[in-house]
Amino acid sequence: MIKLYTDAATKGNPGISTAGILIIKNGKQYQYAINLPNSSNHTAEFLAAITGFQYVDNLFSNTETLMFFCDSKIVIESIDKNYSKNFQKMLSELINLQKKFPLVISKWIPEKENKGAHFLATQKLRNSL
């Protein structure tokens, strides 16, 4: 099983945006902090999730269950409903990436349980200012 945690950090609306991506497989952690295009926080959260799935897809074969954890309610609710009024294009891209895996379980978690990805995103944002 692979666990994927993503989070975004944004300064301004829209503004400088970054993503934290934490992937855990067999007890090994893969940590990424990346710059995103200037965007709103919701857009950045979708971009962080998309990028996280792209990283998992590039790192591993897609034969395992993937647990996806995110502290953005709009991302998780959009996945659950397979609909987003304002982010449909990014949601479609995210769902297409998820279809590469035999099973993806997406779960909203509070920010306090997403510390690894949150730390990576906020640290990258501080360094980008």
CATH number of the domain that residue 30 is part of: 3.30.420.10
Is the pLDDT assigned to residue 21 strictly greater than 90?
A: yes
Whether 16 and 59 have beta carbons less than 8 Å apart is answered as no
Strand 15-25 and strand 103-108: the pairing is unpaired
The CA-CA-CA angle for residues 10, 112, 43, to 5°, reads 25
Mean pLDDT of 32-44: 97
Portion of the chain with pLDDT greater than 90, in percent? 95
Is the pLDDT assigned to residue 102 strictly greater than 90?
A: yes
Question: Each residue of 64-82: pLDDT tens digit?
Answer: 999 999 999 999 999 999 9
- The pTM is what? 0.97
102: cis peptide before it, omega within 30°?
A: no
> What total number of domains does the chain contain?
1
Is the pLDDT assigned to residue 63 strictly greater than 90?
A: no
pLDDT band, residue 62 (cuts 50/70/90): confident
* CA–CA dist 73, 38 (Å, integer): 21
Is the pLDDT assigned to residue 129 strictly greater than 90?
A: no
Domain boundaries, position 66: 2-128
Q: Detail the DSSP E strand segments found in the chain.
A: 2-12, 15-25, 28-39, 65-70, 103-108
